[in-house]
Structure 1
Amino acid sequence: MERSSSGMAETAQTGVTITLALAMLLAALGTSIANIAMPTLVEAFSAPFAQVQAVVVAYLAALTVCVVIAGRLGDRRGLKPMLVAGLAVFALASLLCAIAPSLLLLIGARALQGVGAAFLMTLAMALMRQTASEARVGRAMGLLGTVSALGTALGPSLGGLLIPLTGWRGIFWVQVPLAIVALILAIAMLPAEPVKERAPAIRLRSVVNRSLASNLLVNILVAAVMMTTLVVGPFYLALGLGLPATQVGFVMAIGPVISIFSGVPSGRLVDARGSHRVLAIGLALLATGALLLAFLPNGIGVVGYVLSIIVLTPGYQLFQAANNTAALADVARDQRGTVSGLLGLSRNIGLIVGASAMGAVFAFGVGMEEFVRATPSAIASGMRLTFLLAAAMMLAAIAVTVGRSNSAKRAR
């Protein structure tokens, strides 16, 4: 009898895990799948690139603005009801994107899709923490990291297959049935929560203590470094090393593939060794990988770049699993949505910093804004300067983490 009930509980947990993983996959897929359609959209709407770029920016902006709001609503109204609402919004927005008759309406629908994605990304993490056993929290966070990486990597590939067959609308049509399936699973599989009475709003100041603040700050720094590899990498590989576009795409795919396979093992390591120890290992690998990117590719070419990414990427997955586990470890049940939202917000801020500020550092190092006219040595100089700064940022992240650990020991 006990075995039977244990088997039923395990089956139920598997259903919950699949549901939350699919929700996270949808949010990540929505982030990356539209990028590859940009040239097609320019032609379809006879619009300049700057206007079409808003199709991507609107999603990211709405996602960034709404992650904390989604978390706070989850804490006040229930995580499951708000995730179900987010999936409904995402499904509707995907449909509106697919049938949009004009670029302006497509941009508006993408913003709505970003709002839905904020609920998916934030509440999937909070619910995973709430439903996972204490012995498997790290594993659960590692799985979400894997799924997020899979969605980000799958987007351009799936879009590249669909656009020649269905046109640009196909990349949004494919998200509609996926969102509907996730919605049905969420209603059927996620455990019911007691109806919440309307509680007074929790002030962010009461949630963000010194320990969480350091988690959020380090999250910003790490996300900025990872985005730097995505922004600077293609320019260096194409203009600095002279690789053709197909080889650039292949080399750039190595990082996401490593992320997919290293996410769950990273979570298992967190469960076995503890979040603080794994966090330190992850940051050390990130610092080493960034330092290698500053020098190794300029010395031995594309092999040096790949070796650096092989060091850097597992460090990111170790960090992500450990940092998310540590941030949510001692959080009250009615604050998990808010903290998950703050983690998402800090990550998105880091991505924006990496794309803008670190991109500006690269341009400064190259010495000109028109990279096409730059010599390979100038591109190499920009690469070196950018990743020396990235390594310094990771050393700063290590200092913040060590300082927090020392403060915790003194407090005990």
Structure 2
Amino acid sequence: MQVQEPAPGGPHDGLYGGARTLAMLAVALSVLLSVIDYAIANVALPTIAHDIHASPSSSIWVINAYQLASVISILPLAAVGDRIGYARMCRIGLALFVLASLLCAASTTLLELSLARALQGFGGACIMSVNAALLRFIYPHRIIGRGIALNGLVIAAGVALGPTIAAGVLSVANWPWLFLINLPLGGVALLFAITSLPRTPTRDTRFDGRSAVLNALAFGSLIVSFDRLAHGDGPIGSVALLGFGTICLVALVRRQLGRPDPLLPIDLLLLGGFRAAVLTGFLGFVASNFFIISMPFTLEDVLGRTAVQTGLLITPWPLAIVVVAPFIGRLSDRAPAAVISTIGLLMVATGFCALWLMPARPSDLDIAWRIGLAGAGFGVFQPPNNRAMLVAAPVERAGSASGMISVARLLGQTVGAMLVAMTFALLGSSANRACLALASATALCAAGISASRLRTSRTTVAVQ
């Protein structure tokens, strides 16, 4: 199967002038709302657990409920977006997110808060399942890389702003206000989404509910089982859940084969370039989570930095992504993703390896430049790799491609978090350095898969 990029100047070749600016503002605000809220909840978890009288181990479901709901619903929601329009799906997501934020603020027990967070994760998945697809109708084909880079910049800014906002709110108010601040931001985002997002084509096909159920059972069971295994919780039950999830995944794949509009985009994954981009993105986020989750422990427990110093020392990561985004956006529209993404991932691997090889008593500058190098590499790798996924799909399958971009990110983050937990459980005090070594090795693997696309490109050119 050969998928061609849509011709520039075609019927869906983007918006221009102020219309493009307003539509991109709607997408940016929607994505920012979802990303900031996830980062805020992570930082505020100890405070929330104390106030609702939940143990640290059980309170993690405030985070897990959001992440799990997002992962199991991304692909079904992307399929629904193909049918009802990406702009409408984004608006539905914003409305659900605002409602769920209100329910989170009103929660008084762990169960109530976890259920509200699951609804919030579902609303966030509505947004993230179609945000990349919307870029295809906002930006002309020749400069779509700029839109993807800007989207990545917004995500990086949300990650960077989340802890700061959480600290600021908690210094003057109690934790429910962390969710109440979503109401005005969500209201503004919804206003722009209603008035500015472009109408996108819809598909008059039947939604495959059975595949959606199999998808939820497969991903949900696999994630929960791996999480239980990573924490050493009930190995027999965990293995049984793992087996059930595997059976559901096999059934899902078999059901998708040969379907013209598969919920799990098997047809796109059969394309070498698309498959390589998905694997590259997945491993890139596994590598980044090895660093992001373990580094605060390294800085505080091993290197003796305070919590404030730790936050400042990690800032070069998102800051570097923000700095390189405008340049990489333009470059990704001109140079092959295999080249740029590979270079970026080699930078990431070098930065993580340099952190692993740090002296026993590094200065703040020793730490900061290494983190900055890795962050810059991540900012170089991601936009062209996402662009490669998005433009590989025909325009009517943009929702599926957009969903897979989010799936690669969410699964990479989830698997990375589980592997960090497993590493700490197995290695104890030496796990901090091991995580940095594993982060570098994983980034090198991602670079190898990314570089494999160069061989594919040369083979295609030779055949032509």
Relative to the length of structure 1, the TM-score reads 0.89
What per-residue deviation string (whole Å, max 9, x for no partner) do you get for residues 109-134 of structure 1? 11000001011122111101222112
2:218 aligns to what? none
Deviation at 1:69, TM superposition (A): 1.7
For residue 26 of structure 1, the aligned residue among 27, 30, 33 is 33
Evaluate the alpha carbon distance shift between residue 341 and residue 298 of structure 1 in structure 2; reply closer, same or farther with a 3 A threshold. Answer: farther
**One of 435, 446, 460 as aligned partner of 1:386:** 435
Q: 2:447 aligns with which of 398, 404, 408?
A: 398
Deviation at 1:272, TM superposition (A): 4.0
- Equivalent pair of 1:241/1:301 in contact (CA under 8 Å): no
Structure 1 residues 196-205 or 98-107, which shifts more? 196-205
Q: Secondary structure at the match of 2:315?
A: helix
Does residue 274 of structure 2 align to residue 205 of structure 1? no
AA in 2 matched with 1:290: F
Q: Deviations over 1:362-390 (max 9, x none)?
A: 554xx43xx4xxxxxxx4xx444333332
Deviation for aligned residue 1:321:
0.5
Map of 1:219 onto structure 2: 281
Number of equivalenced pairs:
392
- Counterpart-to-counterpart distance in 1, 2:38 and 2:359: 29
Q: How has the CA–CA distance of structure 1 residues 121 and 106 changed in structure 2, closer, same or farther, with 3 Å as cutoff?
A: same
Contact map agreement 1:76 1:334 (CA 8 A) in 2? no
Q: Distance in 2 between matches of 1:114 and 1:69?
A: 14
Runs of 5+ consecutive residues of structure 2 not aligned to the other structure: 1-14, 209-260
Residues 297, 303 of structure 1: 8 Å contact kept = no
Matches within 5 A, 1:238-387: 238-298=300-360, 300-361=362-423, 364=426, 367-368=427-428, 371=429, 379=430, 382-387=431-436
The 2-side partners of 1:16 and 1:140 are apart by: 11
**Where do 1:3-42 residues align within 5 Å?**
9-42=16-49
Distance 2:345 2:194 in 1: 38
Listed one character per residue, the Cα deviations across residues 181-209 of structure 1 (whole Å, up to 9, x for unaligned) are 11121111012235542357612211212
SS at match of 1:191: coil
Q: Any conservation in 2 of the 1:77–1:198 contact (CA below 8 Å)?
A: no
Partner of 2:136: 129
Equivalent residue for 1:111, pick from 113, 118, 121:
118
Aligned residue for 2:333, secondary structure, equals: helix
Shift of 1:320: 0.8
Letter in 2 for 1:138: G
The whole-number CA distance in structure 2 between the counterparts of 1:134 and 1:244 is 47
Which position in structure 2 is the counterpart of 1:229?
A: 291
Q: Which amino acid aligns with 1:386?
A: C
Q: Are the counterparts in 1 of residues 87 and 193 from structure 2 also a CA contact under 8 Å?
A: yes
> Quick check: which one's helix share is greater?
1
Contact 1:218/1:397 (8 A) holds in 2: yes
Residues 340-372 of structure 1: CA deviation (Å, up to 9, x unaligned): 1112111111112221213433554xx43xx4x
CA–CA separation in structure 2 for the residues paired with 1:103 and 1:40: 13
Q: Give the alignment's Cα RMSD to 1 decimal.
A: 2.0
Is residue 298–residue 432 contact of structure 2 (8 Å, CA) maintained in 1?
yes
Distance 1:362 1:295, change over 3 A: farther
Give the superposition deviation at 1:252: 1.9
Q: State how far apart, in whole Å, the 2-side matches of 1:388 and 1:257 are.
A: 23
Q: Given the superposition, is the C-alpha separation of residues 297 and 218 from structure 1 closer, same or farther in structure 2, using an over 3 Å criterion?
A: farther
Answer yes or no: is the 8 Å Cα contact 2:320–2:379 preserved in 1: no
SS of the residue 2:200 aligns to: coil
Structure 1 counterpart of 2:148, from 127, 137, 141: 141
**CA 1:140–1:46: 2 relative to 1, 3 Å:** same
CA contact (8 A) 2:201 2:396 kept: no
The answer as to whether partners of 2:297 and 2:432 remain within 8 angstroms in 1 is no
Provide the identity percentage. Answer: 30
- In structure 1, which of residues 45, 55, 69 is the aligned counterpart of residue 76 of structure 2? 69
> CA 1:166 to 1:362, structure 2 compared with 1: closer, same or farther past 3 Å?
closer
Amino acid at match of 1:207: L
Alpha-carbon distance between aligned partners in 1 of 2:202 and 2:142, rounded to the nearest angstrom: 28
- Alignment of 1:168 with 2:230, yes or no, is no
Paired AA for residue 120 in structure 2: Q
Aligned-partner SS, 1:115: helix
Deviation at 1:330, TM superposition (A): 2.7
Q: Equivalent residue for 1:4?
A: none
